[in-house]
A and B are shown apart, each in its own frame.
Chain A
Amino acid sequence: MEGSSEPLLDAKSKVTSQLLDFQWKLGMAVSSDSCRSLKYPYVAVMLKVADESGQVKKKSFEMTIPQFQIFF
C-alpha cells in the first residue's frame, strides 16, 4: 500500500506453540578459563512449550543484562 519496505512479522515457524511455563534465573559469571575476572550478571530463561500436537518441549537461552533490557 504505502510501498514500505519494512517487513511484517512473517513467522518463520508456521506452528504456534503455547507457553506452559516460564522459569528464569539471574546468575553471575565469575571466572572462566579464558578470563579470570568475568564478573558479569546474566539472565537465563527456560521456557516449557507445547506445540499443536501437545508435545511438550523445553527451550533455554541466556542473555546479558543489556540484552535483556533491549528485548524486554
Chain B
Amino acid sequence: MAGDLESSKALSGLLSGLAQDAFHGHPGITEELLRSQLYPEVPPEEFRPFLAKMRGILKSIASADMDFNQLEAFLTAQTKKQGGITSDQAAVISKFWKSHKTKIRESLMNQSRWDSGLRGLSWRVDGKSQSRHSAQIHTPVAIVELEIGKSGQVSKSPVRMYCSYPTFHIGKLGHGKESEFLCLEFDEVKVNQVLKKLSEVEECISTLMQRA
C-alpha cells in the first residue's frame, strides 16, 4: 500500500536497519525481517524495489560523505526523478543522515582498515634493585604492554592513576579474539628515543592539520 510506504516512522526504522547491515556489520538484518517489522502490510514484491531504492540512496550519501549542502541538492534531485522519493521521505533521510553521519563514517573508516590496530596500551615502571651479574642498583625500567589486534573502537575511558605504583591504563578496550600482546622493556634512553619519535609524528600531524 502506497500509504504504508510513505510512513515516516517506518522509514526512519528502515534506514537504521539498513545502516546496521551495510555499515555497522550487524548480522541477520534480512529483507523479510525489515518488511515484517516495519511494513507488514506491504507485499514482498512491492517492498523489495523500495528497499533497494532506499539502500542505494543511503549508500550514495555515505560513500560521498555528503555535507548538508550536497545532501539537500542530492535529495531534491531524487524527489524530481521518475520513481524517486517524496519530499516527506527526503526529510526523513535528511534527518537520519544528520544524526548518524559521524557513526556511519567511523564504521566506514574501520571497514577500510585492514591492518591490525592498537587496541590497548599499559605501562609500568619497575626499579631494578639487584642483578646476579651486575650491580644495577635502582635502575628504572619501563615495561609497556601493547595489545595489537583487528579493528576495534578505542574506549575513551579516563586515565586512571594508581597512587602506590606508577601504573595506569590508557584507552583499554575489550579484548578481541585475535589480540596479540607485546610486552616491551625500555630503559630511560630508549624511552626518550621513542618519545622523540612520537613528537616527530605529532609535528607532522600538526602540519598536515594546518594545511587542511
Please list the residues of chain A having a beta carbon within 8 angstroms of any beta carbon in chain B: 1, 6, 8-9, 11-19, 22, 24, 26, 28-29, 32, 34-45, 47, 49, 59-68, 70-72
User: Does B201 make an interface contact (CB < 8 A)?
Assistant: yes
Q: Chain B nearest CB: distance from A63 CB in Å?
A: 5
Distance, CA A31 to CA B125, complexed state (A): 42
Tell me which residues from 124 to 153 in chain B have a Cβ below 8 Å from any Cβ of chain A: 124, 143, 145-148
Given A22-B194, A49-B182, A49-B184; A42-B145 close (CB under 8 Å):
no
Q: What is the total of A-B residue contacts with beta carbons within 8 Å? A: 128
Task: Say whether A67 contacts B118, CB under 8 Å.
Answer: yes
B197 at the interface (CB under 8 A from A): yes
Interface of B, secondary structure class, is mixed
Interface size class of B (residues with CB under 8 A): 35 or more
**Interface residues of B, Cβ cutoff 8 Å to A:** 62-65, 108-109, 111-113, 115-118, 121-124, 143, 145-148, 154, 156, 160, 162, 164-165, 167, 169-171, 180-186, 190, 193-194, 197-198, 200-202, 204-205, 208
Residue of A nearest to B110 (CB): A64
Contacts of A14 on B, CB cut-off 8 Å? 183
- Provided the pairs A11-B181, A26-B208, A49-B182 are in contact, do residues A70 and B170 lie with their beta carbons within 8 angstroms? yes
A6 touches B148 (CB 8 A): no
Residues from chain B with Cβ under 8 Å of A49 in the complex: 182, 184
Shortest Cβ distance from residue B66 to the other chain A in the assembled complex, whole angstroms: 8
A1 nearest CB neighbor, chain B only? B164
Q: Collect the chain A residues with CB atoms within 8 Å of residue B112's CB.
A: 29, 32, 34-35, 38
Q: Is the CB of B204 within 8 A of A26?
A: yes
Q: Are A62 and B115 in contact (CB under 8 A)?
A: yes
- Residues of A contacting B63 with CB < 8 Å? 34-37
Distance of B200 from chain A, by nearest CB (Å): 8
